[in-house]
């Protein structure tokens, strides 16, 4: 391959001179260099396409093999999820399609979520991942070695997640699989390594690498889902088998609305060994993944908890003005009235407490309640 003008031999120059009298050898040579370079680039692209095709073929064979064997469902144990998936926000709270979520960056953890025209995977799409991770945990509990390719009956999934088995739900499941495949996550969240310590890297992935949705046709011609096969991404699969920080959900979690689901997950992830935790309101909004203003978020929290002591199943919460509890406004001269100005909305706190804990005790000594500020990479220090 010609990569330099100097590589043109004397004989080649003679040939060029006969074919192109008075030609600029350098121009001709660089033209050949460019042509050869383009050929090399095309060859590289072709090789990459061939490798991708081979990888797709291997995945197709793996999915076929799983589809031919008995499914991993029904789920015998409890519904579980990786704590990392509960602490941080990766999913859209609304059903309306959005092609990206606000970037989360607290200085330690960074999460970017984007998607194509079908939109970012939603909180309801997340149910598929929760169910699959639960099936994997079931196998681990039985001493088996689970694969990242998991199969389940659509009916089993619907029953466990509180859905009906009508035609619209089959279509919704198909759409969920599409969004889980097309959503891209880029993050620096670390996963505990088996050799000790943590591996630090920025990774980009989709929730599932591939899926199969086998169905039959009813007498009316409509699709009736039978078996679903999902190949989890390696990052998500690692959460289940390496980190081993899996927490159990209440089955009626699936009855909650998206905002209440996120609040439940945050309370469940942090109120383990400790009965109370508190968040700054604005930091909680970011953790929840809400796109509302802080003021609107505060109003939604208060509306959700109105008339309910435990709106999050096993957990309750209170929106707290810390200055009123303290009886004074930090930074104001002694004797100056507390009513001089209102507490900035971003200064409010949200106190979470377990059902078996006394929130009155926590309010009496709020400063002693652990505050979740930016707790960095998830650990298992506060798990049950």
pLDDT in tens, 277-308: 999 999 999 999 999 999 999 999 999 999 88
What is residue 220's predicted lDDT score, i.e. its pLDDT? 78
Average pLDDT, stretch 70-84? 92
Residue among 128, 126, 122, 127 at smallest CA distance from 96 = 122
378 lies in a domain?
A: no
What is residue 199's predicted lDDT score, i.e. its pLDDT? 56
pTM of the complete model beyond 0.85: no
285 vs 88, 120, 355, CA distance in Å?
11, 19, 23
Question: Percentage of the chain with pLDDT > 70?
Answer: 72
Judge if 35 and 128 occupy the same domain. no
308 lies in a domain?
A: yes
What is residue 340's predicted lDDT score, i.e. its pLDDT? 47
Judge if 174 and 249 occupy the same domain. yes
What is residue 115's predicted lDDT score, i.e. its pLDDT? 97
Cα angle: 189, vertex 191, 192; to 5 degrees: 140
Q: Is the pLDDT confidence value at 40 over 60?
A: no
Q: Which residues span the domain enclosing 31?
A: 5-65
What is residue 241's predicted lDDT score, i.e. its pLDDT? 87
pLDDT band at 196 (very low <50, low <70, confident <90, very high): very low
What is residue 252's predicted lDDT score, i.e. its pLDDT? 94
Average pLDDT, stretch 3-24? 54
Q: Which two tokens stand for residue 305?
A: 């908890």
Average pLDDT, stretch 326-353? 67
Most confident of 24-28, 326-330, 351-355: 351-355
What is residue 274's predicted lDDT score, i.e. its pLDDT? 86
294 lies in a domain?
A: yes
Given 228, 254, 280, which residue is the final one in a domain? 254
What is the rounded CA–CA span in Å between residue 215 and residue 229? 12
Judge if 197 and 89 occupy the same domain. yes
Given 206, 229, 254, which residue is the final one in a domain? 254
Tell me: cis bond preceding 151? Omega within 30 of 0 counts.
Answer: no
Q: Is the pLDDT confidence value at 209 over 60?
A: yes
Which of residues 355 and 340 earns the better pLDDT score?
Answer: 355
Question: Percentage of the chain with pLDDT > 90?
Answer: 52
Looking at the structure of the chain, the number of domains it has is 3
298 lies in a domain?
A: yes
Q: Tokens 């953890």 — which residue?
A: 109
Mean pLDDT estimate for the chain = 80
Which of residues 120 and 272 earns the better pLDDT score?
Answer: 120
Judge if 170 and 245 occupy the same domain. yes
Which of residues 57 and 239 earns the better pLDDT score?
Answer: 239
CB 127 within 8 A of CB 146: no
What is the rounded CA–CA span in Å between residue 180 and residue 130? 12
Judge if 154 and 238 occupy the same domain. yes
383 lies in a domain?
A: no
Cα angle: 301, vertex 309, 343; to 5 degrees: 40
Judge if 366 and 276 occupy the same domain. yes
CB 315 within 8 A of CB 355: yes
382 lies in a domain?
A: no
């Amino acid at each position: 391959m010609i990569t330099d003008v100097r590589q043109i031999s004397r004989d080649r120059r003679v040939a060029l001179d006969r074919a192109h009298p008075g030609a600029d050898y350098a121009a001709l040579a660089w033209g050949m260099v460019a042509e050869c370079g383009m050929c090399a680039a095309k060859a590289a692209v072709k090789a990459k396409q061939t490798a991708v095709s081979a990888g797709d073929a291997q995945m197709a064979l793996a999915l076929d093999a799983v589809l031919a064997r008995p499914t991993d469902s029904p789920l015998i144990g409890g519904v579980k999820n990786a704590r990392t998936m509960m602490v941080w926000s990766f999913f859209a709270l609304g059903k309306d399609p959005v092609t990206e979520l606000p970037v989360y960056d607290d200085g330690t953890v960074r999460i970017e979520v984007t998607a194509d025209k079908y939109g970012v995977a939603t909180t309801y799409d997340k149910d598929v991942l929760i169910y699959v991770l639960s099936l994997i945990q079931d196998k681990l509990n039985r001493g088996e070695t689970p694969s990242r390719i998991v199969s389940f009956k659509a009916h089993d999934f619907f029953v466990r997640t509180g859905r009906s088995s009508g035609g619209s739900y089959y279509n919704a499941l198909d759409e969920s699989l599409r969004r889980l495949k097309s959503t891209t996550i880029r993050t620096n969240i670390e996963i505990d390594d088996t050799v000790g310590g943590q591996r630090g890297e920025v990774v980009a992935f989709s929730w599932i690498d591939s899926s199969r949705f086998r169905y039959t046709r009813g007498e009316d011609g409509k699709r009736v889902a039978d078996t679903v096969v999902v190949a989890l991404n390696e990052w998500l699969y690692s959460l289940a088998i390496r980190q081993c920080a899996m927490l159990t959900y209440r089955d009626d979690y699936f009855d909650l609305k998206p905002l209440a689901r996120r609040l439940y997950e945050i309370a469940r992830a942090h109120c383990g060994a400790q009965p109370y935790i508190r968040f700054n309101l604005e930091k909680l909004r970011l953790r929840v993944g809400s796109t509302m203003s802080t003021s609107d978020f505060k109003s939604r929290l208060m509306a959700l908890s109105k008339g309910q002591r435990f709106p999050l199943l096993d957990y309750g919460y209170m929106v707290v003005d810390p200055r009123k509890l303290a009886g004074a406004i930090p930074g104001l001269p002694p004797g100056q009235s507390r009513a001089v100005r209102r507490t900035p909305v971003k200064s409010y706190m949200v106190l979470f407490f377990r059902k078996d804990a006394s929130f009155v005790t926590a309010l009496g000594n709020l400063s002693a309640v652990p505050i979740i500020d930016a707790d960095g990479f998830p650990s298992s220090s506060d798990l049950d």
